């Protein structure tokens, strides 16, 4: 998907370097009779390496670079001099990048740590020079090994944004507004559906210089499994979140029903999503008076199986309690999680 500079899915062709050939040189020097074989080894071909970089958050660079090639190793020389190894091609990718074999769709590896290096295509080994093959019965071998060819393959990079909390809700539920209020992120906000067309990340500053990361994805609607709306295109960006924050507006006809619809869409996408901690934030509650809030609270206490909070991003209501609850959920003892 491409929206502005945000790209989270690319296909690449990678090829490592070929190994250099060994030399079949025979020593030639004045006053040195029958110098014998002295051909050096070929150099190793360069690897293609993907390296995690915490300062990147998109695969935008690969819009202009679909072929990645490492250098070939150099051939061996005389006097047993080895050829130089081909230079490795090291490519930085954002954390959360999943690497797949394009043909088989099998996952090769994942980049999850800053500085982590993964060799995607190994360079070919260099061939051995003829001096390796000298024996008492074959003192002048005139042959050497050729270098081994490098690897070529097609890979697919998929970015899964790394965040602590993922926002889930229908279009126009107020996710982008909430993100803009509790973080310094500046997502696009408007009064029409599907304003958000790309994931947005924001860092929530908490007490005592602590912080956690929140990811806002485009809204999903009932029937996303059949491709309605934007479908499941962006749900992979919350697969790694430990906590899901469901945002349901207070003016919804049935808050509990909307939550169940969202939960069912997650279940149909990946049942493991239901193992995450869940919290419901009932947004836009500044539109309700005390009496309506009391009625809604009584209804939700009866019908909602998970904790919930009343918030209003515009009126700045309930946001401190929301941060406290999210921090508590993110930092509770794993043994206490159900």
Token representation of residue 288: 């309700």
Nearest to 131 by CA among 121, 122, 140, 120: 140
pLDDT digits 0-9 by tens, 268-305: 888 888 888 999 999 989 888 888 889 898 999 888 88
Q: What distance in Å separates the CA atoms of residue 253 and residue 41, rounded to the nearest whole number?
A: 76
Distance between CA atoms of residues 260 and 303, nearest Å:
10
Q: Say what the pLDDT of residue 253 is.
A: 86
Binding site membership for GTP: which residues? 169-176, 194-198, 216-219, 283-286, 312-314
In this structure, the chain runs to a length of 338
Could you report the per-residue pLDDT of 125-152, keeping only the tens digit for each?
Answer: 999 999 999 998 898 899 999 999 999 9
Tell me if residue 286 falls in helix, strand or coil: helix
Highest mean pLDDT among 125-129, 177-181, 234-238: 125-129
How much is the pLDDT for 227? 54
Residues 6+ apart with CB under 8 A from 103: 153, 154
Of 125, 126, 48, 56, the closest CA to residue 87 belongs to 48
DSSP 242: S
Q: What percent of the chain stands above pLDDT 70?
A: 88
Q: How confident is the model at residue 111 (pLDDT cuts 50, 70, 90)?
A: very high
Q: Which neighbouring-strand residues pair with 50?
A: 91, 118
pLDDT tens per residue across span 30-69 = 888 778 899 999 999 999 999 999 888 788 888 888 999 9
CA distance 252 to 135: 87
- For residues 279 and 326, the answer to whether their CB atoms sit within 8 Å is yes
- Supply the pTM of this predicted model: 0.71
CA distances from 131 to 30, 42, 78, 92, 146 (A): 20, 12, 10, 40, 14
* Rounded Cα gap, residues 27 and 130, in angstroms: 11
The predicted-structure confidence for 152-166, as pLDDT tens digits, reads as follows: 999 999 888 778 898
Binding-site members for Mg(2+) are 176, 196
Q: How far apart are CA 149 and CA 246, in angstroms?
A: 52
3-class DSSP assignment, residue 67: strand
Contact 16, 121 (CB under 8 A): yes
Per-residue 3-state assignment (H helix, E strand, C coil) for 289-311: CHHHHHHHHHHHHHHCCCCEEEC
Cα–Cα separations (whole angstroms), residue 39 to 28, 35, 76, 192, 196: 12, 12, 7, 73, 63
Q: Please state, in angstroms and rounded to a whole number, the distance separating the CA atoms of residues 268 and 260.
A: 12
Strands, E assignment, 114-173: 117-121, 152-159, 165-169
With residue 91 as reference, give the H or E element that holds it.
strand 89-94
Count of CB atoms situated within 10 Å of the CB of 274: 12
Residues annotated in the binding site, as ranges? Answer: 169-176, 194-198, 216-219, 283-286, 312-314
């Amino acid at each position: 998907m491409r929206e502005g500079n945000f790209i989270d899915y690319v296909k690449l062709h990678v090829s490592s370097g070929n190994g250099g050939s060994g030399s079949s040189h025979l020593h030639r020097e004045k006053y040195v009779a029958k110098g014998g074989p002295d051909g050096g080894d070929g150099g190793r071909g360069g690897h293609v390496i993907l390296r995690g970089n915490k300062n990147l958050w998109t695969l935008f660079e690969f819009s202009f670079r679909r072929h990645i090639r490492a250098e070939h190793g150099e051939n061996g020389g005389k006097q047993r001099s080895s050829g130089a190894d081909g230079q490795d091609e090291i490519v930085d990718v954002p954390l959360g990048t999943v690497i797949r074999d394009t043909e088989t769709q099998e996952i090769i590896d994942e980049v999850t740590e800053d500085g982590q290096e993964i060799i995607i295509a190994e360079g070919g080994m260099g061939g051995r020079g003829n001096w390796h093959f000298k024996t008492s019965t074959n003192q002048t071998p005139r042959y050497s090994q050729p270098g081994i060819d490098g690897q070529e393959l097609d890979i697919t990079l998929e970015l899964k944004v790394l965040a602590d909390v993922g926002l889930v809700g229908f279009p126009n539920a107020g996710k982008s507004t909430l993100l803009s209020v509790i973080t310094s992120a500046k997502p696009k906000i408007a009064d029409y559906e599907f304003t958000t067309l790309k994931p947005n990340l924001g860092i929530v500053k908490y007490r005592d210089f602590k912080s956690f990361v929140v990811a806002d994805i485009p809204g999903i609607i009932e029937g996303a499994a059949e491709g309605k709306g934007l479908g499941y295109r962006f749900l992979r960006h919350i697969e790694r979140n430990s906590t899901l924050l469901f945002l349901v507006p207070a003016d919804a006809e049935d808050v509990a029903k909307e939550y169940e619809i969202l939960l069912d869409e997650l279940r149909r996408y990946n049942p493991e999503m239901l193992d995450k901690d869940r919290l419901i934030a009932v947004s836009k509650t500044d539109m309700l008076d005390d009496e309506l809030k009391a009625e809604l609270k009584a209804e939700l206490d009866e019908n909602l199986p998970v904790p919930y909070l009343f918030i209003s991003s515009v009126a700045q209501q309930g946001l401190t309690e929301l941060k406290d609850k999210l921090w508590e959920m993110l930092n509770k003892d794993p043994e206490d999680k159900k």
